[in-house]
Structure 1
Amino acid sequence: MAWQYWTEAARQGGWREVPTPRANPDAGNELRITTTASAVSKGTESLVHTGRIPARVETLMRAPHQLGDFPFPVSYGYLGVGVVDEGPRDWIGARVFGLLPHHSHHIVTTEDVHLIPEGISDHRALLAGAVETGLNILWQQPPRFADRVAVIGAGMIGTATALLATRMPLDRLEIVETDPHRRTLLADLGLNAVAPDDASADCDVVIHTSGSQVGLARGLEITGDDGTLIEASWYGSDSPSVPLGADFHARRLSIIASQVGEVAAGHRARRTRAQRMSAALAALNDDRFDSLITGLSDWRDLPTVMDELSGKSGSDRSGLARSALCHVIDYTGAHAR
């Protein structure tokens, strides 16, 4: 038998047992993936778990291999790695990453998955989605030589973006983060992490990933005259207040939305999504990314993990909602039957 994780109602998720799928040997490019690990994308998946996907964007927010429809029941997720065990001979045994939900097995095509480069572990490969998002953010409004850049919010997306940005010839790169423990983690990675009150002003580009109204306001404060804030947070059904009064217009600030569903406009004519993902996987050849993996749970514990990551009252005894970056789900025991 095989297993699929479904959100049945708000804050109610569980595993469904289903027949083990088989690849069609006559399809030519069809593969069966046996999952080794998946990861929870805390921000978006918490909104799915709590039923806060706005009706008007339900179509836009569908994951590539999602089952069911928003709000419920829905089988969601887009960070999965596994091994090909059925399909064309030259694919058998290949380790692959895909935008796949939390299932023990998947039937996909060769176009749906990406080979994991040698030297990159399955768990690190789960960060490919975050790195792809960070790459898209940096393509959205590319910082220029000697620019001053700030990233607000050191979650999985913000930290991945900052690690990519360290490879650029910037004059200054600061990561603005409220949590002192996370600032220590960032410092250990060689990043310059500061509290919001200590953030430097006069930035050329500010990248906002904190998902908070306060973070957005601080981002506009430290953006320099004629500068740009890239809004990479998604708020679901919430409507944050954006401080467009005071000197916003006088300083001629720009706010640009960034969303990974499409290749950034500056590269869209020259890069496919598959090429962008290949670049993200190649960028993971950096041991610092392992520090973004902050937790590991058995697949059977995913319902509890989702409760904790979404901050369900009384369930967050471990502080998971506050501390998690990339939380990995291990499927070792899911294939024992």
Structure 2
Amino acid sequence: MSARAHDARAYWVLEPGRGEIRSEPLPAPGPDEVLVRALCSGISRGTEALVLRGEVPPDQYEVMRAPLQQGDFPGPVKYGYLSVGVVEDGPAHLLDRVVFSLHPHQTRYVVPADAVVPVPDDVPPRRAVLTGAVETAVNGLWDVPPLIGDRVTVVGGGMVGCCAARLLARFPGVEVTLVDVDAARAPVAEALGAGFARPEEAKGAQDLVVHTSASSAGLQTSLDLLRAEGTVLDLSWYGTHGVALDLGGTYHSGRLRIRSSQVGTIADARRGSRSMADRKAVSLQLLRDPTFDVLLTGATPFAEVPQVMADVCEGRLPAICHVVTYEHEEGT
């Protein structure tokens, strides 16, 4: 390790619309802690856009804190939760292991040893940044699992929606369609083993619709695609944006259901038998599937994060999962 191994650089949102990289000292790890050198991290566009724009509702400040967040909404706040790195110091069983952590974008960090999960040797670090998105999809499908032979649509072709589509495509007999306003998602859907449709082309009479677009239009489309007694599994977080729905059609007569799911707690169906660490381990095992690589749509050195974060979150840089790399940060 270099003489500056215990210094770090981290991305902070200082105030709505403005982020920067800050230097900060790191403490030496304690007996139950690890020092991790980041290899890569992922930008979670939906959630991080709300944070960057200052659109976290005040009454949700505590609920929506990331596990290893520093600072408070709306800023200054160090936010993020898709980090992969290598353990440079810590317990022997973790030393030199590649691990996933729910840590913000930072070159090095010290966290409790139980806050990292080893990445399987056959899962590349860049693919492992998808762990948080796969975990969100896993938790949602624990909340509302499909049945064999179901017709299922995923509305919203972002990172979580695409991860859900891939998992659903592996259920026996399940017919999966990815719906998005962007026709460029069609080849992605095909790679994931799903069909593709724009909203106006999507087939109705669906048994289950997974909604991830975080928009009123997407949620309305999801309801409109259901069969009678069908369920919308809503994985979206809307922040301060209100949601307007037309419930005057078949919502009541068709006995339609909207079921929310949130990754901050274990789904009720598994709460007594699975821990957060168990759920992460399952997600990392699922990421042995190389198909997920289609979701890694670009990479940027850490030094460029402030501009790239703004470009990704405002849609100027199209991305499903944009990866931050740390190869040029060895001196920090």
TM-score (norm 2): 0.95
- 2:85 is matched with which residue? 82
- Matched position secondary structure for 1:23: coil
Counterparts of 1:188 and 1:96 in 2: how far apart (Å)? 27
- Matched position secondary structure for 1:145: coil
CA contact (8 A) 2:191 2:291 kept: no
Counterparts of 1:170 and 1:201 in 2: how far apart (Å)? 18
| Cα deviation digits, residues 118-146 of structure 1 (max 9, x gap) | 11111000000000011111111111111
- 1:148 is matched with which residue? 151
Alignment length, in residue pairs? Answer: 326
- 1:278 is matched with which residue? 281
Displacement of 1:171 in angstroms is: 4.1
Displacement of 1:178 in angstroms is: 1.4
Displacement of 1:192 in angstroms is: 0.8
Displacement of 1:22 in angstroms is: 1.9
Match of 1:333 among 325, 328, 331: 328
- 1:4 is matched with which residue? 10
Tell whether 2:27 aligns with 1:21: yes
> Aligned residues: percent identity?
38
- Matched position secondary structure for 1:56: helix
| Cα deviation digits, residues 239-274 of structure 1 (max 9, x gap) | 110222222101100110011111111111221111
Tell whether 2:56 aligns with 1:53: yes
Tell whether 2:254 aligns with 1:248: no
CA contact (8 A) 2:43 2:321 kept: yes
1:231-270 map, 5 Å: 231-270=234-273
Tell whether 2:312 aligns with 1:309: yes
CA contact (8 A) 2:81 2:101 kept: yes
CA contact (8 A) 1:22 1:86 kept: no
Tell whether 2:114 aligns with 1:119: no
Counterparts of 1:118 and 1:192 in 2: how far apart (Å)? 31
- Matched position secondary structure for 1:173: strand
Q: Which runs of 5+ in 1 are unaligned?
A: none
Tell whether 2:26 aligns with 1:30: no
Displacement of 1:333 in angstroms is: 1.5
- 1:93 is matched with which residue? 96
TM-score (norm 1): 0.94
Displacement of 1:21 in angstroms is: 3.4
Counterparts of 1:21 and 1:170 in 2: how far apart (Å)? 52
Q: Which runs of 5+ in 2 are unaligned?
A: 1-6
Displacement of 1:55 in angstroms is: 0.3
Displacement of 1:213 in angstroms is: 1.1
Counterparts of 1:216 and 1:90 in 2: how far apart (Å)? 45
| Cα deviation digits, residues 137-160 of structure 1 (max 9, x gap) | 111111111111111111100000
- Matched position secondary structure for 1:90: coil
CA contact (8 A) 1:8 1:14 kept: yes
